[in-house]
Structure 1
Amino acid sequence: MGARPRPVGQETITRDNVTMRVDAVVYYRVVDPLKAIVNVQDYKFASAQVAATSLRAVTGRSDMDQLLSEREKVNAELKTVIDQPTEQPWGIRVERVEVRDVSLPEPMKRSMSRQAEAERERRARIIAAGGEFRAASKLAQAASVMAADPAALQLRLLQTVVEVAAEKNSRTIVMPVPVEMLRFLDRVSRAADRAQREVRQDVVQARPRAGLHGRRQIARACSACGPLGPWLAVYSTFWPSSRVR
């Protein structure tokens, strides 16, 4: 006799306390018609009851994730559990068991959807952070190379200007100040500050000396400051010595 399908559905609670409905199909074959008629009153109904009970028992020992992802393992366990009380006593052999559908309640579906969305967002952030880290590393390496070779930095600046000029909407191009010029201006500014402090110190030391000799020393000290010398000379002559720092 050919294998006959028998649908089985059961409301069950998993091991992790999730309520769900599991629908399965049991394919069985009558291998001993005498036992199927004599030893049981209605072998179809009895087989369905055994299948429903076994389905509830197996799902109760499994987690929700196992029922959703490990269908083959659950099917094999169901086949073994259902076949044991039906083949020898009733002459009914279970050929195959397949879990067809697992229905979750709506709150559980929404919770799983939020969890999956949070997991996708977490992975996306990790991927984005990894990309930013690699990009920052490459930029740091490029900055090190350009710092070692100023000509490379100048070429990069010129390339940027060319790219900006090639755009359709760019009508104004702001030329960047070369880095070497900025460094030179910084060195000049620091040197001027040091010279100004030294001149002020010399002026303070020469002021107490009266007469022409003292004024000549002040003039020589102020001349060391270049264009600021005449102004410092006037400043030192007419301003009280207590205000000079």
Structure 2
Amino acid sequence: MYIPYIVIAAIVLILLFNFFHVLREYERAVVFTLGRFWKVKGPGLIIIVPLIQQIVRVQLRTVVMDIPPQDVISRDNVSVRVNAVVYFRVIDAERAVIQVEDYFAAVNQLAQTTLRSVLGQHELDEMLAERTKLNTDIQKILDEHTEAWGIKIGMVEIKQIDLNESMIRAIAQQAEAERGRRAKVIHADGELQASQKLAEAAKILAQEPQALQLRYLQTLSNIGEEKNTTIVFPIPIDFISTFIKK
């Protein structure tokens, strides 16, 4: 007897439940009326006509998406595995729902292909040394493609570049050879500077014999300060001739 009333009450409650929707501050509702786009509503309390209107909720918060490791062959034919992270957010809820079926999956796939494409144009040394520039290049390309979807790419960060063991050993050998080359260059520069200074000193001493004698006496004084039992030292002919002339 009361069953029809209970059913009617349940239907009314369900309709009322679908009539009112509460959206958080970071949410928007894309409203469709009989399948046609009407407007974007929210946040707060919104009213939707059941069976006539439908909504699609969209979050405007920044999404952090991991890009799975990608096999990349660099321009100098080195195979590496690279993974990255992409930060993006929806800035136009209408386009994010209407222009692309699943914007999250679309951004993920586009990021993977762009990562391989951009890194494949650079050599391994550039990948390791110019990571900031590569991040910026990938971010710009992604941002240009996702603008039509109402998506803003905030930042792209390459997390890790993995090399195989043979390539790691080759890089280590190259670094060691580079350090050896720099050490030889520094040593040669030091020898050149020292020879130049010695040549300048020799010219000065040649012009002033008294300076040569003072330098010789200073050297003897330095030797005398050491506790040596026997000291053998040469006497320059010029030094003796100075005293003979006197």
Note whether the superposition's TM-score is higher than 0.5.
Answer: yes
By percentage of residues, which structure has more strand? 2
2:234 pairs with 153, 163, 176, which one? Answer: 176
2: distance between equivalents of 1:67 and 1:87? 27
1: distance between equivalents of 2:83 and 2:134? 13
2: distance between equivalents of 1:129 and 1:182? 37
Q: Contact between 1:154 and 1:178, CA under 8 Å: does it hold in 2? A: no
CA offset at residue 23 of structure 1? 1.6
1:121 pairs with 164, 180, 187, which one? Answer: 180
Per-residue CA distance 1:210-229 (angstroms, 9 max, x = gap): xxxxxxxxxxxxxxxxxxxx
**Counterpart in 1 of 2:42?**
none
Q: Which region of structure 1 is more displaced relative to structure 2, 140-149 or 114-123?
A: 140-149
Per-residue CA distance 1:11-36 (angstroms, 9 max, x = gap): 11111211111221111112344554
Q: Which aligned pairs between 1:96-245 and structure 2 lie closer than 5 A? A: 96-168=155-227, 170-180=228-238
Q: Contact between 1:157 and 1:176, CA under 8 Å: does it hold in 2? A: no
Per-residue CA distance 1:90-134 (angstroms, 9 max, x = gap): 443322212222222222222222222222222222222121112
**Counterpart in 1 of 2:135?**
75
CA offset at residue 174 of structure 1? 2.2
Q: Contact between 2:213 and 2:239, CA under 8 Å: does it hold in 1? A: no
Paired residue secondary structure (1:24): strand
Q: Contact between 2:65 and 2:85, CA under 8 Å: does it hold in 1? A: yes
Structure 1 59/181 Cα, relative in aligned 2: closer, same or farther at 3 Å?
closer
CA offset at residue 39 of structure 1? 5.0
CA offset at residue 38 of structure 1? 5.2
Q: Contact between 1:161 and 1:173, CA under 8 Å: does it hold in 2? A: no
Paired residue secondary structure (2:75): coil
Q: State the TM-score, normalizing by the size of structure 2.
A: 0.64
CA offset at residue 2 of structure 1? 0.8
Structure 1 114/69 Cα, relative in aligned 2: closer, same or farther at 3 Å?
same
Q: State the TM-score, normalizing by the size of structure 1.
A: 0.64
**Counterpart in 2 of 1:16?**
76
Paired residue secondary structure (2:235): coil
| Structure 1, gaps ≥5 residues long | 185-245
Larger radius of gyration between Structure 1 and Structure 2:
1
2: distance between equivalents of 1:80 and 1:42? 21
Structure 1 155/93 Cα, relative in aligned 2: closer, same or farther at 3 Å?
closer
CA offset at residue 163 of structure 1? 1.0
**Counterpart in 2 of 1:237?**
none
Paired residue secondary structure (2:231): coil
By percentage of residues, which structure has more helix? 1
Q: Which region of structure 1 is more displaced relative to structure 2, 92-101 or 45-54?
A: 92-101
What's the RMSD between the two structures over aligned residues? 2.5
Q: Provide the identity percentage.
A: 45
Per-residue CA distance 1:34-91 (angstroms, 9 max, x = gap): 5544554443223211111111111112222322222233222212322344332x44
2: distance between equivalents of 1:181 and 1:30? 91
Q: 1:108 is matched by which residue type in structure 2?
A: M
